[in-house]
Structure 1
Amino acid sequence: MAFMAACTTGMAQRPPQTTGYNRYVNPFIGTGAVDKNSLSGSNFPGACTPFGLVQLGPDTRDNPNDPASGYDYNDTTIVGFSHTHLSGTGVADLFDFLFMPYTGDITWNATPENGHKGFRSAFTHEQEKAVPGYYSVQLLAHKTLAELTATAHCGVHRYTFPQQEQGRVMVDLDHSLDKKRPYWECKVISAHLEVVNDHTIEGYRVITGWSRLRKVYFRAVFSKPFAARQLREGGQVINNGEVANGRSVKAVFSFAPSNAPLLVKVGISAVSAEGARSNLAAEVKDFDFDATAQAAANSWSKELGVMDAEGTDEQKTILYTGLYHLFTQPNNLADADSSYAGTDYTVRKAVDGAHYSTFSLWDTYRAAHPLYTLVQQGRTAGFINSMIRQYETYGYLPVWQLWGDETYCMIGNHAIPVIADAFRKGIAGIDYAKAYEAAKASSLRNHPGSPFHLLEQYKYFPEDKQSQSVSLTLEIAYDDWCVAQMALQMGKKEDYQFFLNRSTYYRNLYDQQTGFFRGKNSQGEWLPFNPLTYGGNGGSPFTEGNGWQYFWYVPQDVPDLIKLVGGDKAFVNKLDTFFTHNAKPEDVNGNASGFIGQYAHGNEPSHHVIYLYNYAGEPWKAQQYAAQVMQQQYNGKSSGYSGNEDCGQMSAWYIFSAMGFYPVNPANGIYALGSPQLSKAVIKGLNGKNFTVVAEGAGGKNCYIQRVTLNGKPYNKTYITHSDIVNGGTLVFTMGEKPNKKWGVAADSRPPLEEVR
C-alpha cells in the first residue's frame, strides 16, 4: 500500500516510529474515489494531532472545491501545503497559509503553456508517506523532499533541497477554496505579511467563505536566514520588501545553497497575532523536527488506545483509521493559554481549557457523538460546553459551526440530541441547567432552517412556506423528543408535554394512500410526489435524500412507525422493498452513493435503517445487510468510504457495527445488535472497567448470529443498553453462515423506546 512506500530518490523520509495502534492507521483511506460514480471520502491525509487546530497537509488543487479536503488521491501534482483543512466534509473551506518549497526562478505567472514549472510539482504515491502526525512527499519537479509534522497549534516543515542548489519557499495568503463557487462568495477581505527579521515572518488574513468571517494569524520562523525575498500584492512586486498588505498577498523567500535541510516552524491562532506567537513559543521551542513528529505520533497512540481490536489486518486498519478520523475533529480553537474568539468576536477564556468548533452535527449526532460518549467522555463535556458558549453569545446552539461561526448548513438543531444523550448518560463536567435552557431556546426561537412559528401554526412545515419541509418536520420532531426527555428527567412537566406532543407531528405528513411521508402546502393539500425523486439542500421537501430514505426517520418511536405502516409484516415487506428497489440514474443526485436498492450508505439519512429489522421480528436481515455494507463499502485503500466521511460519522458507523451494535436512536441509550465483524473488541476505561465483545467465527459468510451470551448468561434480546456497556462485562456472539430465525424474534426481544433506569 502507498502509505508504506519509501522515498527512492536518495533523500530519506524519516517518519516517527510507528508502533502500537498507529501502525494500523492509513491516513490515505477516503482520499480518492476509484470511479466517477462514487464519492471520494474527502479526507485529509496530512499531519495533525488529536482534536488540534492545525491540520498541515498537501493541496492538489489551486482553488479547492471538491474534494473539500483539497487533496485528491487521483491527482498527480501538488500546489503546496496549507495549515488548516476540513476532513471528510461535503463543502470546502480553510486552507490557510500555503507554503511551497521549490527550486528554480521566481516566475509568478508560470503556466505549462509558457514553459515555466512555477511552484507546482508532480508527485507519485510511491514517494509519498503518511502516518499519524507525519506526512512527506518527494516533489519531483523540484527534486525536494517535503516533510510535515504538527502540534496542536503549530505546523513544522522540513525541506531537503538538492545539494548546492538554491532553495526557495513560496508563502501564499490568497490560497482558498474556489472563489467562483456558486454557493457563496469567497474572498480575502484583508491580508498582511510582515518581515520581522532575517528568518521570521508574521501575518494574518481576514477571509469570508463558507464561514462568513474568519480571522487567522500566523508566525513563521525559519532555521536559516533569507538570502533574498520578494513580496507581492496583486501585480505589484516588492524586492526585499518589509511589508505587503492587500487581498492577494504572496511572497518568496530564497536561501543560500546548503547540505542541511531547511526547517520552518509556524504558529497559528484564531484569536490574535500575539496568540500565534505564544502558541509557537509554547509548543515548538526549537527546530527538532524528529522529536516533534514523535511527540505527535505518541499523542495519537495514546488517543487510539481507547480500544483494543482483533481481526484481520484490513479490519484493524479500517477501525483504527476510523478512530483517527473521528479524533481529527472537532478542533480546539482556543490558544495554548485557553483564549478564544467568541461568536461575538470578543476574546474570552475557556474555563475548561478548550473551545471546540467544526461541528458537523447533521452527520455526527447519529453515531459519532454517541461513540464519543463511550471513548471520549471528557472531550464530550468539552464539546457541549463549547456549544453552550455559542448559545450564550449567539442565542441558540450550533447547527453546523465552523471556525466558531455558525454556517446554518443543513437542517434541524442536532446539538440537542448530543446534549440530551450526554445528560441521560451522566457525562460529568456540564452545567445541565444551562444546557437545557439552551436546548429549549433553540427549539423555540426562529433561525434559518427552523421557522418554528410555522410548526406551531400548521403542526407541520408547509412546503410553500418552508423548503425541505418533510425532512425538517421529521428531524425537528426527533429533536423535540430529546428536549422532552430532558424535561421529564428534570421534573419540567409542562415542557415535557409540550415537546412530547410536538415530537409526534411527523404523523401529520404521513399519507396513508401512498404509504410515505410527503409534502403538503399551507392549505393542507398533498403535493405531487415520487418517492424516488431526490432533494438537495432546498427546492424540495427532502434534504439530501428522497421519500424512500426519509420514510424511516422516526428513531424516537419505531413502534409507532410500524403501526402507521400496518404492523410487523407490512413493515418488513417495506424494508425488503427498500433494500431491493433500484432507482434510475436520473433520479439520483450527487449526495447519494453506496446503494443497496434505495439504501444509500454514502449519506447519513440511511445509516440507521438496516437495524430497523430488529424492531419487527426479523433481525437476521439486519445482520445480513450490516455485514454486506461493512464487507463491500469499506476498505483499507483511498476508496475506503462509499461517501464523504463527514467528520467521523462514516467511521463511527463502521466502528459500532464492526463490534456488533448501533445506536438507532442516538439519545436513548439503546444499541441494536447487528453482525459483528471483529473477532474481539475491547472498549477500555469505562468507569474503570472494560467492555469486551467476542464474535466467534465472525467474518465472511458467517454474518448471522446463532446465539449470544452476556456475562456468561444466554441473551436473546436484539439490543444492549448503555448501562450494559459502561458497567463492564463480556458480550459473546457465536456466528454462522445461515440465519437462526429463532433467535431474537420474541416480542420482548425487540429494542424498547429507551433504556429502563
Structure 2
Amino acid sequence: MNKAIFSIIGAIIIFSSGVLAQNSQNVDYTKFVNVFIGTGALDANSLSGSNFPGACMPFGLVQLSPDTREYPDDPCSGYDYKDSTILGFSHTHLNGTGCPDLYDFLFMPYGGDKKWQAGSDDGKTKGFRSHFSHSNEKAYPGYYSVVLDDYNIRAEMTATEHCGMHRYTFAKADTYHLIIDLEHTLIKDSPYRYSKIISAQVRVVDNKTIEGYRIVSGWAKLRKVYFRAEFSRPFDSQVMKAGSNEFQNIPVANHSDLKIILNFDQNNNMPLLVKVGISSVSAEGAKENLNAEMKDFNFDGISVQANKAWNKELSCIDISGTARQKSIFYTGLYHLFIQPNNIADVSGNYLATDNSIQNAPDKKHYSTFSLWDTYRAAHPLYTLVQEDRTAGFINSMLRQYKTYGYLPIWQLWGTENYCMIGNHAIPVIVDAFLKGIKGFDYEEAYQAVKASSTTSHKNSPFNVLDKYGYFPEDLQTQSVSLTLEIAYDDWCVAQMAKKLGHEADYKFFLNRSGDYKNLFDKTSGFFRAKDSRGEWINPFNPLEYGGNGGFPFTEGNAWQYLWYVPQDVPSFIDLMGNDQKFVEKLDEFFTLDAKPGDVNGNASGFIGQYAHGNEPSHHVVYLYDFTSQPWKAQYYSAKIMRELYNDQQSGYSGNEDCGQMSAWYIFSAMGFYPVNPANSVYCFGSPQLENATINLANGKQFKVITNNLSTDNIYIQKIILNGKPYQKNYIAHKDIENGGVIEFFMGKTPNKKMATYEKPLMIAGEL
C-alpha cells in the first residue's frame, strides 16, 4: 500500500515539473538548479556554504525547510547534508550566513505512541527525530520532499511568498500526530550565539485551525513572528506542553517553552495537508496572507506556481556551458534571489524599527541585508538583472533611516543587529544612483547616505575618525578594517555629493576617503594598527587573524586587508612603490602558504593568503588588471572557478553569504567583475561560458561570446565589442546597459600585449 501511494506522489511530482509554463525560449531553467549545493562541507577542515534545501519563493518571507539539528548553529541554515536524521520542518531560514537565527514554528509528523523526549547535550535526540536517506529526498525550486524512515511518512513542502504548505502521506491507516514546536531555535547558553524566547502563545481556533506567535531575542532582537495553520481534516484532540506541564484540550496556552501536539485518528491513507501563513506584524496579518495566497489545499498547484515564478526569475540570464557550469551558475542565481526578503504582509503592513506599524505603498518592505558581504558583487548584479527590486531594496533601507537615524548595517527581520563593520548600504545606494536606476528619491537618499557617514553609532565613531584621521585600536577595535572600509564608503558619498551639486560635502568626503594612507607602514609594506598617540602597535604579524572584535582586522589578517583600496587603486600602487612592487606583492599574496595555528573560522578556500571563502579577498584577483600583468587576473579567476566551486553539496568554499559567493561566480564566469562596486566598471578575468545573454530591464540584451574555450585556454587573446576591436581591461556599465555583443577569443598562453590595454577607470565621474 505505501509503495503504491508513494509512486502516485512521485508521478504527480514529475507531471507538475513537466507542465511548467515556459518562457519565450521554452527553457526550464529550474532544471539546472541543484538546491543541495552548499548544504555541506567538503571535509572536517572546510566550511559549509550554509544553504538550505527547502521550499521558498523569490525574495519571499517563507523558507520551509528541514532542520537536522536541535540547536541549529553550524551550519547556520539548520541543515547539514552529512546528518542522517531530521528534527522537523520550520518556516524561516537564513541562506548561507555565518550567524544563525529564525527557525520559526517547527512542524513534525509522527506515528504510533512515541512520547516526547527532552533534548540531550549532543542535540540529536530531541522530540520525534527521524532517520532519512538522501536517496528518498527530492527538491527543486519551490518544492522539497523526504521520507521519514522511522515513521514511514513522506513529508512534502511547497511555498508562496508568505505561506508554506505541508503534505504528509502516511504508509498505513493508523493513529498519527503532528507536533508544533514554538521553542525551537538556536542554542540558548552560548555567550556569542544565543536565543531567548521572551514569550509564545498557541491558540486553538477550531478543530481545523490553530494560530500563535512568539517573541524571540537572538541575532535579531525582540523579533515578533505570528502564524496561522489550517488543516485539511480535523484533529481529534490536542495536548499543550508549557514547560514541564501538560494540558489536555485547552483552548490557549502561553509559555517561553511551548509546544502543541495534535492527534488524528485513523487516516484511511489520505494525506494530511497543512497550510501555514506567517507574518511579522500580527495574527490578523498571518490570516490575511493565508487567505490571499492559499485559498485551498491544492498542493500541486502551489508547487507549480512556485516553480514557474523561479523559472521566470532565472531567465534573466541565458547561458550555454557544461552541465557542471549550468548547475553552479543557475543555483547561484537561485541563491542570489532568495533574499532580501519581503517582510511586509499582503496588505503592505510592516513593523518599522520604531515598533510602529507602517504601510509600504508597493506592498514590499525588504529585510535580510547582509551588506558587508553583498555590496561587493550581489548588489551590482541586482542592478543588472533586478533593477526594479533594487529600487525596492533602497526604499526599504531609507525607511530604516527615517525611523532609526542611519542606514542598515546588517538588518534582519526589520531590525538592526550591527553585525560586521562599515556602512555598506552606502555603496549600494550610490551605485544605483550613478547607474540612473529610478524609483527612489535621490536627494532623500543622499541625506541618508550623508547622515550614515557622520552620525556616530556602534563601530562607527566618526568623531574619533575625524580627530585622528584613522581609528586608533585603543579607542576602537577592528580599527584597521574599519578605517579602510569607511574610507571606501566615504569615496562613494563624495561621488553622489558631486553629482548632486553638494560641493563642500564632496571635498570633505573625498578628503576623508584618503585616510587609509594614515595606516600604511612603508617599512613593513602593510596596513597596521596605531594607537591614539600615533604609534604602531606591536608585535605585528601579518599572518595573524582577527574575528569580530578585539583585533585590528575583521575576519581576516593584514595580508587580506592589504588590498582593500578599491576606490583608489592607482594611488595605492604608488603608495606601494610602483607597478613592479605592487605585482610582486600580489604574486606573494597568492603563493605564500604559511598560516598560523588558528586561521579563524571564517577563513577557507585558500590560494596562498587569498581566502575565497570570505569576502575581503573577493576583488583581489582583479587588481592585476590595474597593472602591467593583467593576464594574471585571467589565470587566478579561472583557477578559483574550477577549484573552489563544484556542483555537489560542498559547492562553496565558505559560507555563501546571501548570494555573494554566487554573485562572484556569476560575474566571473561571464568574464568580468566589479572591483569597485559603485563606479560602474567591471574588470576582465577569464570568461568560462560559451555564451551568456543578459536580458536587461530596458528590454535590451547584452551577449557574451567566448571563442576557442577549453580547459587549457584560459587567457584572452583579443576582444571584440559590437564588431570592433576593443583594447581595454574593463567594460563600463553603460556599454552593457546599451546592449550589444562582446566576444572573447581565448588561448593557452597569456597575450602580453594586454599590458598596453587601457586600465580600469576609478572615478565614477569620468564615465
Q: What is the aligned counterpart of 2:330 among 288, 305, 320?
A: 320
Q: Residues 515 and 552 from structure 1, CA distance in 2 versus in 1: closer, same or farther, beyond 3 angstroms?
A: same
Alpha-carbon contact 1:106-1:252 (below 8 Å) kept: no
Overall identity of the aligned pairs, in %: 62
SS in 1 for 2:197: strand
Could you tell me which residue of structure 1 aligns to residue 604 of structure 2?
593
Alpha-carbon contact 2:729-2:757 (below 8 Å) kept: no
Aligned residues: 750
SS in 1 for 2:597: helix
1:303 aligns with 2:313: yes
1:696-749 Cα deviation digits (max 9, x unpaired): 12241211101110001111100000001000000000111111111x211634
1:679 aligns with 2:676: no
SS in 1 for 2:93: coil
Q: What is the aligned counterpart of 1:142 among 151, 157, 177?
A: 151
Measure, in 1, the Cα distance between the counterparts of 2:389 and 2:4: 37
Measure, in 1, the Cα distance between the counterparts of 2:645 and 2:758: 33
Measure, in 1, the Cα distance between the counterparts of 2:5 and 2:487: 58
Alpha-carbon contact 2:212-2:227 (below 8 Å) kept: yes
The code of the aligned residue for 2:594 comes to A
Could you tell me which residue of structure 2 aligns to residue 43 of structure 1?
51
The code of the aligned residue for 1:517 comes to F
The code of the aligned residue for 2:102 comes to L
Could you tell me which residue of structure 1 aligns to residue 224 of structure 2?
215
Q: Residues 111 and 593 from structure 1, CA distance in 2 versus in 1: closer, same or farther, beyond 3 angstroms?
A: closer
Could you tell me which residue of structure 2 aligns to residue 631 of structure 1?
642
1:481 aligns with 2:465: no
SS in 2 for 1:579: helix
Q: Residues 368 and 699 from structure 1, CA distance in 2 versus in 1: closer, same or farther, beyond 3 angstroms?
A: farther
TM-aligned CA deviation for residue 37 of structure 1: 1.1
Measure, in 2, the Cα distance between the counterparts of 1:728 and 1:710: 11
Measure, in 1, the Cα distance between the counterparts of 2:692 and 2:56: 26
Alpha-carbon contact 2:525-2:576 (below 8 Å) kept: yes
Q: What is the aligned counterpart of 2:214 among 205, 222, 228?
A: 205
Q: Residues 202 and 708 from structure 1, CA distance in 2 versus in 1: closer, same or farther, beyond 3 angstroms?
A: same
1:661 aligns with 2:646: no
Alpha-carbon contact 2:480-2:519 (below 8 Å) kept: yes
Measure, in 2, the Cα distance between the counterparts of 1:181 and 1:316: 40
SS in 2 for 1:650: helix
The code of the aligned residue for 2:136 comes to Q
Measure, in 2, the Cα distance between the counterparts of 1:338 and 1:462: 44
Measure, in 2, the Cα distance between the counterparts of 1:712 and 1:149: 47
Q: What is the aligned counterpart of 1:28 among 36, 59, 69?
A: 36
TM-aligned CA deviation for residue 587 of structure 1: 4.5
Measure, in 2, the Cα distance between the counterparts of 1:573 and 1:688: 44
Measure, in 2, the Cα distance between the counterparts of 1:117 and 1:456: 53
Measure, in 1, the Cα distance between the counterparts of 2:604 and 2:674: 22
The code of the aligned residue for 2:166 comes to H
The code of the aligned residue for 2:111 comes to T
Alpha-carbon contact 1:615-1:751 (below 8 Å) kept: no
Q: What is the aligned counterpart of 1:417 among 406, 420, 427?
A: 427
Measure, in 1, the Cα distance between the counterparts of 2:646 and 2:229: 38
The code of the aligned residue for 1:60 comes to T
Could you tell me which residue of structure 1 aligns to residue 756 of structure 2?
746
Could you tell me which residue of structure 2 aligns to residue 651 of structure 1?
662
Q: CA RMSD in A?
A: 1.6
Q: What is the aligned counterpart of 1:403 among 394, 413, 434?
A: 413
The code of the aligned residue for 1:183 comes to Y
Could you tell me which residue of structure 2 aligns to residue 3 of structure 1?
none
More moved, 252-261 vs 211-220: 252-261
SS in 1 for 2:633: helix
Match runs of 1:311-710 below 5 Å? 311-528=321-538, 529-710=540-721
Measure, in 1, the Cα distance between the counterparts of 2:200 and 2:118: 23
TM-aligned CA deviation for residue 8 of structure 1: 11
Match runs of 1:226-237 below 5 Å? 226-237=235-246
Alpha-carbon contact 1:686-1:728 (below 8 Å) kept: no
TM-aligned CA deviation for residue 105 of structure 1: 1.4
1:103 aligns with 2:111: yes
Match runs of 1:285-300 below 5 Å? 285-300=295-310
Q: Residues 279 and 8 from structure 1, CA distance in 2 versus in 1: closer, same or farther, beyond 3 angstroms?
A: closer
The code of the aligned residue for 2:198 comes to I
TM-aligned CA deviation for residue 686 of structure 1: 3.9
Alpha-carbon contact 2:727-2:757 (below 8 Å) kept: no
TM-aligned CA deviation for residue 750 of structure 1: 4.2
TM-score (norm 1): 0.97
1:164 aligns with 2:161: no
SS in 1 for 2:744: strand
TM-aligned CA deviation for residue 411 of structure 1: 0.2
Alpha-carbon contact 2:336-2:660 (below 8 Å) kept: yes
More moved, 182-191 vs 22-31: 182-191
1:553-610 Cα deviation digits (max 9, x unpaired): 0000100110011111000000000000012251511110000000000000000000
Could you tell me which residue of structure 1 aligns to residue 726 of structure 2?
715
TM-aligned CA deviation for residue 331 of structure 1: 0.2
TM-aligned CA deviation for residue 753 of structure 1: 3.5
Q: Residues 178 and 144 from structure 1, CA distance in 2 versus in 1: closer, same or farther, beyond 3 angstroms?
A: same
Could you tell me which residue of structure 2 aligns to residue 17 of structure 1?
17
Measure, in 2, the Cα distance between the counterparts of 1:735 and 1:754: 30
Alpha-carbon contact 2:70-2:126 (below 8 Å) kept: no
SS in 1 for 2:430: helix
Measure, in 2, the Cα distance between the counterparts of 1:616 and 1:111: 58
Alpha-carbon contact 1:678-1:699 (below 8 Å) kept: no
Measure, in 2, the Cα distance between the counterparts of 1:700 and 1:752: 32
SS in 2 for 1:638: coil
SS in 2 for 1:17: helix
Could you tell me which residue of structure 2 aligns to residue 177 of structure 1?
186
Measure, in 2, the Cα distance between the counterparts of 1:280 and 1:667: 40
Alpha-carbon contact 1:509-1:519 (below 8 Å) kept: yes
Measure, in 1, the Cα distance between the counterparts of 2:507 and 2:443: 19
Q: Residues 672 and 116 from structure 1, CA distance in 2 versus in 1: closer, same or farther, beyond 3 angstroms?
A: closer
For structure 2, the 5+ residue unaligned runs are: 21-27
The code of the aligned residue for 2:661 comes to M
Q: What is the aligned counterpart of 1:132 among 137, 141, 151?
A: 141
1:86 aligns with 2:94: yes
Q: What is the aligned counterpart of 1:196 among 205, 210, 220?
A: 205
TM-aligned CA deviation for residue 270 of structure 1: 0.2
The code of the aligned residue for 1:293 comes to S
Could you tell me which residue of structure 1 aligns to residue 233 of structure 2?
224
The code of the aligned residue for 2:171 comes to P
Could you tell me which residue of structure 1 aligns to residue 196 of structure 2?
187
1:53 aligns with 2:67: no
1:431-452 Cα deviation digits (max 9, x unpaired): 1111000000000011111011
1:10-53 Cα deviation digits (max 9, x unpaired): 57344330661000011100000020111100001100000000
Alpha-carbon contact 1:164-1:257 (below 8 Å) kept: yes
Measure, in 1, the Cα distance between the counterparts of 2:381 and 2:4: 37
Alpha-carbon contact 1:30-1:41 (below 8 Å) kept: yes
Alpha-carbon contact 2:543-2:596 (below 8 Å) kept: no
TM-aligned CA deviation for residue 179 of structure 1: 1.2
Alpha-carbon contact 1:617-1:747 (below 8 Å) kept: no
Measure, in 1, the Cα distance between the counterparts of 2:609 and 2:166: 46
